[in-house]
A and B are shown apart, each in its own frame.
Chain A
Amino acid sequence: MSWFKQPQIIMMLLAILLLAITFAYPKMSLQQATYRYVYVFDISQSMNVMDARKKEPFISRLNFAKQAAIDSLPTLPCGTELGIALFTGHRALLLTTPVETCKNQHDLSNTINMIEWTSTWESRSEIAKGVYKSIRLMKRVDENTRMVFFTDGHEAPPVNPNLLPVFQGKKGKIKGIIVGVGGDKQVKIPKFDRTGKQLGYWDSGDVVHIDVYTQEKNKRDGVKPLRGTEHLSSLRESYLIDLADKTGLMYHRLVTLGSFSEQLKIKSLSNPKAIQTDIRWLMALLSLLLFISLYLMEPIRKRLKTMGEQKSA
């Protein structure tokens, strides 16, 4: 019997061939979901409240957002790009334009780590304007950029519900997620000095409790300054959901790092990109299957053979 009549030998040669192909680095062009995000971090003072997690270890809203951002990096598919920005006052400041996350994971983590609330350039925090202007910024960077906006929704000074800033962009044109960070209970906001030493908490008398418009009107009418609860802070979730609704963004509450990473990988936020995918594994797997089937085939062949012999006997 010559060797080529033996199916076993042919299979083994085929397995050799498949394995040899891996050294030619076979690639396949696949449409893969990748993302282009800019993470915007609210660095206003209410983000220092330590209520981002319900359980110990307690962590500030800003630090929890930073941790979620860093943890999300290795979970994003390669080819995804990420930029970083800060928000305070009424606008965002772009720190880096989006760069690829796999190659630059280390330096992106370092950049996120460097974020400090003390960088603030205004003591106010106008979330609605901030979200709208950040959307405009995304548009300037590239229309395929999705925004991820970490905030507790705490407007300071408060906005007049009748005089809300108007979103002038096109709803849903820039996609993204507003990420709510913080707890449900109203808690005191820590107060720090320039060196980062805590001086206690913001007091009711330190902050404005009503929007600027009403405040001025009250002053003219001789109404005493109001005392409210603006020195306390919680996650203003319904406000953020409303903002998300107006702008066509999604809303996600930051509870666990894992669910945040999942939210980032939502299909509707992806930009399909043709990625040259390594398919060496496929060649190797086929080669392995061929080899294994030799072992699985042999007992069957033997049985058939003995059955045949029994019949003829």
Chain B
Amino acid sequence: MFAIEHSWVLLLLPLMLLPFISSVQSDLNYSSLALLPTDRLSQVFEVLLKLLAAIFITAIILGISGLHRPAKAVERIGRGAQTVILFDSSTSMDTPYSGNSKGGAASRVANWGTYESKGQVARNLLGKFVEQRQQDLFAIFAFSRNPIPIMPLNNNQEVIQAAIKAGTYERGLGTTNLGAGLIKALTFFEDKPFKGSRIIMLVSDGAAKLVRPVKEEITNLLKRHRVTLYWLYLRDKESLGFNAKIDKELAKDIAPEQAVNQYFSELDTPYRAFSADDPQALKDAIAEVNKLQKLPIRYEETIPKQDLSNYCYALALALLFLLTVAKLSEIRSWH
């Protein structure tokens, strides 16, 4: 409930006994003590003043020691979605993005770092998306040869943005295991209570092949965990995209994303692709998530540490004021 920042300061606490040992009241010269009547009221008053002084000392020491309520997590209910962002971290995401007009992209073998890659474009776009979804919870996963869990659901914008940005400093990793990545992200919802609309936001160029058992598992998991699948699709400079009309057999080899898109479209669970080519894509994606927000969402929020030293100082100030008034009204002389 309460906690102390600098517990060693509490070693000063015995000082509160000082008022009972010593006195600040001035002595009066009087001819004989025996002549004075015992005054119950003033005796009570004296004890009271000592007590107030002791509380004053205690309050001020507690203030200095940094009395506070520690941070704690509380459950809140809002309107938002639970989104797992799933980044494709394969090397194919390093190639220049089709919608890019900067010079580097034009050269055939561009030097990484001299142009904006698909991965970088995607992460910038995602950063903006997350920024506009303050109430949503985001988890972050990535995949290359294996799935890479990065952070669980949270709504700390700073760390989510830090994870999105982290992938823009270096090249991608290697092979693309889209299936394993999706399965890992989907099983993340396992055993978690359904607390709001669930979304997997796949960020990929789709240069991957899914075999039948993997497809079946993905289909089942999407259904079981009631997940909506969004695909933020990044088109390669040379890639044909979803809609180019080519022979199906040929597409298997030169446009694997068509097969992946086809598979997703045939799912019973909700699916939508957003092409990053389209300047509307970001707005579309946000509008789409807005529509899903009909369900109230439960989420954990961390209430930051609450400083209580102010209250300590306020109490001390009030007491000191009283003590000073008492001191001022003290009788200094009978004459």
| A285 and B64 contact, CB distance less than 8 A | yes
In the complex, which residue of chain B has the Cβ closest to the Cβ of A93? Answer: B173
| B166 and A16 contact, CB distance less than 8 A | no
Interface residue? B35 (CB, 8 A): no
Q: Using an 8 Å CB-CB cutoff, how does the interface string of A87-126 with B read, 1 for contact, 0 for none?
A: 0000101111111100110111011001110111110000
Residues from chain B with a CB closer than 8 A to the CB of A30 are none
Given contacts A15-B320, A111-B151, contact A99 B310 (CB under 8 A): no
In the complex, which residue of chain A has the Cβ closest to the Cβ of B171? Answer: A91
Q: List 8 A-B contacts (CB under 8 A).
A: A20-B317, A91-B170, A94-B169, A96-B163, A103-B158, A111-B159, A114-B151, A295-B21
Q: Using an 8 Å CB-CB cutoff, how does the interface string of A16-41 with B read, 1 for contact, 0 for none?
A: 10011011000000000000000000
Given contacts A23-B313, A96-B163, contact A110 B154 (CB under 8 A): yes
| A106 and B320 contact, CB distance less than 8 A | no
Residues from chain B with a CB closer than 8 A to the CB of A299 are 22
Given contacts A121-B174, A140-B170, A299-B22, contact A287 B60 (CB under 8 A): yes
| B23 and A107 contact, CB distance less than 8 A | no
Q: Which segment of B142-150, B211-219, B238-246 sits at the interface? A: B142-150
A16 to B328: give the CA distance in the assembly, Å: 14
Contact for B22 among A13, A140, A281, A296, CB less than 8 A: A296
In the complex, which residue of chain A has the Cβ closest to the Cβ of B90? Answer: A121
Residues facing A in B169-215 (CB within 8 A) are 169-170, 173-175
A-B pair count, CB < 8 Å, reads 155
A23 to B315: give the CA distance in the assembly, Å: 12
Interface residue? A291 (CB, 8 A): yes
Contact for A284 among B63, B154, B162, CB less than 8 A: B63
Interface residue? A212 (CB, 8 A): no
A16 to B57: give the CA distance in the assembly, Å: 13
A97 to B158: give the CA distance in the assembly, Å: 10
Q: Using an 8 Å CB-CB cutoff, how does the interface string of B60-84 with A read, 1 for contact, 0 for none?
A: 1101101000010100000000000
For A86, A91, A104, the residue with the greatest tally of chain B CB atoms inside 10 Å of its CB is A104
Known contacts A100-B158, A106-B302, A291-B56; can you find 17 more A-B pairs with CB under 8 A? A13-B324, A16-B317, A16-B320, A83-B166, A93-B170, A104-B156, A104-B158, A111-B163, A116-B149, A119-B147, A120-B146, A121-B145, A140-B170, A295-B21, A295-B22, A296-B22, A298-B24
Interface residue? B223 (CB, 8 A): no
Given contacts A118-B146, A288-B57, A291-B320, contact A94 B170 (CB under 8 A): yes
Chain B: interface residue count, which band?
35 or more
Residues from chain B with a CB closer than 8 A to the CB of A16 are 317, 320-321, 324
Chain A residues with a Cβ under 8 A of chain B:
1, 3, 8-9, 12-13, 15-16, 19-20, 22-23, 83, 86, 91, 93-100, 103-104, 106-108, 110-111, 114-116, 118-122, 137, 140-141, 280-281, 284-285, 287-288, 291-292, 294-296, 298-299, 302, 305
A64 to B166: give the CA distance in the assembly, Å: 25
Residues from chain B with a CB closer than 8 A to the CB of A23 are 310, 313-314
| A121 and B146 contact, CB distance less than 8 A | yes
Given contacts A16-B320, A16-B324, A104-B156, contact A96 B57 (CB under 8 A): no
Contact for A97 among B154, B166, B313, CB less than 8 A: B166
Residues facing A in B294-335 (CB within 8 A) are 302, 304, 309-310, 313-314, 316-317, 320-321, 323-324, 327-328, 332-333
